A and B are shown apart, each in its own frame.
Chain A
Amino acid sequence: MATHAADAHHDDHDHKPQGFWDRWVFTTNHKDIGTLYLVFAFIMFCIGGAMSGVIRAELAQPGLQFVQPYFFNQMTTVHALVMIFGGVMPAFVGLANWMVPLMIGAPDMALPRMNNWSFWIMPFAFTVLLLTLFLPGGAPAGGWTLYPPLSLQGGSSVAFAIFAIHMMGISSIMGAINIIATILNMRAPGMDLLRMPLFVWTWLITAFLLIAVMPVLAGAVTMLLTDKFFGTSFFNAAGGGDPVMFQHIFWFFGHPEVYIMILPAFGIVSEIIPTFSRKPLFGYQAMVYATASIAFLSFIVWAHHMFTVGMPLGGELFFMYATMMIAVPTGVKVFNWVSTMWKGSMTFETPMLWAIAFVILFTIGGFSGLMLAMVPADFQYHDTYFVVAHFHYVLVTGALFSIIAAVYFWWPKWTGKMYSEKWGKFHFWWSTFFVNVLFFPQHFLGLAGMPRRIPDYNVAFADWNLVSSIGAFGMLASPIIMFAVLWHSKKHGAPATTQVWEGAHGLEWTVPSPAPHHTFTEPPVIRASMLAHGDVTH
């Protein structure tokens, strides 16, 4: 097409394909695909955020003011699916696409065409999922956990949602294969495994988790599908099946899934904190081993989501002990971040602020997680707002905050432009204030006895719910502020230097800003001083 003619000019020193289709639709370039993923994730965060706005609007006061309970249930279900599979996961994949090749000195991902396909499946998957909102019976309304028999009561939306989940699964698995192949095969000479940046390490481990559990989810939802439409009874007690078996299978996927959403965050924070502390990461190897042991443990704790299904005593005890054990490697990570800051020479640019908030607020989410592990207390906490508070602390102030930190951190490398520190910090303080107003009171609501997934409540719960909703509306402005800051930077930002941050080390900071369309077409010669973690000998 016309674009090929344009290509022939070679007037762009980057050799970027010209024209929208060649540049974005047929792209095999890891940077452009990374950008696509990040833009997609941003749109999904906005859609999922709008749905949480509906939920919090309804919950602002007792009584039903805006939506029918059934629609409310659709909102919670789709909000979660969109945030998890459309927001957090693609955002991390986008960051991996952009940064992994740059961090290990590779020219691109190992499987660039598959990379293109992994991305372009996603918009279709989410179009299918979101269109179920307009079906006669509405979208899935049985919660993102899709527990049967309830999830099978919906109309045809079940089939569409399952199809969408299959597509997302295929995309994730291909993305994971690509990341593993890239990391294991494409490292520049001298980039030994134990010299890789932690972001690369955490993604390597995450990719293995993805390959291990996405097929399990696919199996679980396929059984739902055949139960609903083809007369099987895997989960139908009347036909000899077992509804609890679904929960076991789902959480065998689901618990590793929550680590899929947090391990890359650990990696990001482990890059940012040393940079702005101007000091090497404390306990690099311990961080790697802690990540690996968290990943291993994540496979043997699934039933802590099911303490109330009536497991035998031995099962409850096993899953309680195993879950408590996760606190140890997680603690190691937190202590190592604090030790990295200790005796550093710290500055507090925007990415550092988000990273510090991550450490504090994720730890708070970890504390409530540890409390939830205690079975006698979980008999009270389970399925209340205490759980909602817990997982939003780890997902929003954990995963999402790390993603925002990463965007501010690498933005100058991507675009060659600095953003406004003043407005970046404003964005940070705004979000951190409102996110706590939003989620902290939910602990109180849960402890006072408010169940989750309800559209209306007793008047005693009204006060904290109003506070929480005020926080939510503040938080809804957060993506808008971020968009404005980045837009302004793109248009008017000061040019960024190659190293960008004074304390930055690592290969990604040796290429110009903005990173040219093709980097490391020849493998770089690596000196220990270039690496963030070059020195692991003692």
Chain B
Amino acid sequence: MALMVMAMKSLRNTRKSLHKMGRAVAAASLTLSAGMAMAAGTLPDRWQLNMHPGVTETARNAYHIHMLMLWICVVIGIIVFGAMAYAMFKFRKSKGAVAAQFSHNTVAELIWTIIPIVILIVCAWPATKILVHTADTSNPELTIKVTGYQWKWRYEYVDYQGKATGINFMSKLDGDSDRTRQLKSGLDPHAVKVGEEQTYLLNVDKPLVLPTNAKVRFVITADDVIHAWWVPALGWKVDAIPGIINDAWTLIEQPGTYRGQCAELCGQDHGFMPIVVEAKPKAEFEQWLAGQQAANAAQNAPAAAQAPVAAPQG
């Protein structure tokens, strides 16, 4: 019954009740993580039990659908396993139980066919709304082209606010992690740190820098085999497939460093091609962008001057 009430509520006002449930859950759940409160948490927590709500609307939506489904499953589980447990204790031969011989009950069978259908419709509704919203990649401020390679990522800043930027670089596992991860390296993964954070296998030589509070569109592809670009705090992963261009978007709400990994088996170093997103307030981002462009120009300028000698490629 409680389930039905919950369900009706979420039908009436999907988002609101989802949020409410999310909060109730946050309070009630066994999560040991402090990461929930400080959503900008950049690394997974030790002994983490649950998904984090992330730093985008998409990630929060994923989290709410996750919690909605989790609680529905918990409630159904309690009912079903409770009934089973009761039956196992009550209807034992050793307690003198005599078996009834019924093998039908049309009413009961109808009920447990129809109620699940209703529950499923109630779940499908918010999921559909969210999905339609997530699929809309129109009107971005910044477009990034992501290309997966064995075993690194290329990021191209295709255009920002309608202007081509010319920025384009590779991003791969950082040196510390790379040395430590060699078979029998004798190095301690716990000792791989950035500041206080233990970033083993979740750090790169050059992160993807993005502005906060701006819609960023990704076009994603691959050069060799299939990879998948995934930063949990952003709330989605999309396959990077050679010959195909997929798209997705994000709008990061808080500055921070968000870490993820390739999520599609792509060969021997699949476990060693992390992703780091550094989200900066717009002004800082623009500064960074200008800096990169200036560095590019500086690199190209001498090249232009001595063009006949050598032309280093960007």
Residues of A within 8 A of B (CB): 62-65, 67-70, 73, 141-143, 147, 149-150, 153, 237-238, 241-244, 277-284, 286, 308-310, 313, 316-317, 320-321, 324-325, 327-328, 331-332, 334-335, 338-339, 341-348, 356, 359-360, 363-364, 367-368, 370-371, 374-377, 379-384, 444, 447-451, 453-464, 535, 538
Contact = CB atoms under 8 A, between A and B. Distances in A.
Given A308-B228, A343-B97, 8 more contacts: A282-B102, A308-B237, A320-B131, A343-B100, A344-B91, A345-B92, A371-B73, A459-B189
B181 A347 contact: no
B235 interface: yes
B291 interface: no
Contacts of B268: 68-70, 73, 141
B244 A444 contact: no
B144 to A, nearest CB: 16
Given A347-B94, A459-B189, A68 B183 contact: yes
Nearest to B192: A459
18 contacts: A63-B180, A150-B225, A150-B265, A150-B267, A241-B243, A313-B131, A320-B124, A327-B120, A328-B120, A343-B102, A346-B91, A347-B94, A360-B81, A371-B70, A448-B51, A453-B265, A456-B201, A459-B189
Count class of interface residues, chain B: 35 or more
Interface stretch (B104-112, B152-160, B279-287): B104-112
Given A320-B127, A325-B120, A283 B91 contact: no
A454 B273 CA distance: 11
A341 B91 contact: yes
A377 B183 contact: no
B97 A345 contact: yes
B103 A283 contact: yes
A376 B51 contact: no
B184 interface: yes
B241 A243 contact: yes
B243 A242 contact: yes
B65 A376 contact: yes
A277 B181 CA distance: 54
A374 B69 contact: yes
A458 B176 CA distance: 13
B153 to A, nearest CB: 15
B91 A324 contact: no
B240 to A, nearest CB: 10
A449 B88 contact: no
Given A64-B181, A360-B84, A447-B51, A238 B243 contact: yes
B127 A376 contact: yes
Nearest to A384: B263
Interface in B114-146: 116-117, 120, 123-124, 127-128, 130-132, 134-135
A283 B46 contact: no
5 A-B pairs closest in CB distance: A237-B243, A454-B271, A310-B246, A448-B48, A367-B73
Contacts of A238: 242-243
Contact of B99 (A277, A283, A538): A277
B103 A341 contact: no
A243 B84 contact: no
B174 to A, nearest CB: 12
B249 to A, nearest CB: 12
A458 B69 contact: no
A129 to B, nearest CB: 19
A232 to B, nearest CB: 15
Given A356-B84, A367-B73, A447-B49, A62 B200 contact: yes
Contacts of B135: 313, 316
Interface string B233-253: 001111101111011000000
Contacts of B243: 237-238, 241-243
Nearest to A73: B268
Contacts of B236: 308, 379-380
Nearest to B77: A367
B234 to A, nearest CB: 10
A341 B87 contact: yes
In this complex, the member of A376, A377, A450, A457 whose beta carbon has the largest number of chain B beta carbons within 10 angstroms is A376
B55 to A, nearest CB: 13
Contact of A535 (B103, B105, B239, B260): B103
Given A64-B182, A238-B243, A279-B101, A379 B235 contact: yes
A344 B225 contact: no
Contacts of A360: 81, 84
Contact of B225 (A153, A286, A380, A444): A153
Contacts of B232: 380, 449
A280 to B, nearest CB: 4
A289 B268 CA distance: 45
Contacts of B48: 444, 447-448, 460
Given A279-B99, A308-B237, A377 B80 contact: no
A379 B99 contact: no
B228 A149 contact: no
B191 to A, nearest CB: 10
A451 B120 contact: no
B256 interface: no
Contacts of A334: 80
A243 B87 contact: no
A335 B112 contact: yes
B142 to A, nearest CB: 20
Contacts of B269: 69
B226 A150 contact: yes
Contact of B87 (A338, A383, A456): A338
B47 A280 contact: no
B202 A458 contact: yes
B199 interface: yes
Contacts of B91: 277, 341-346
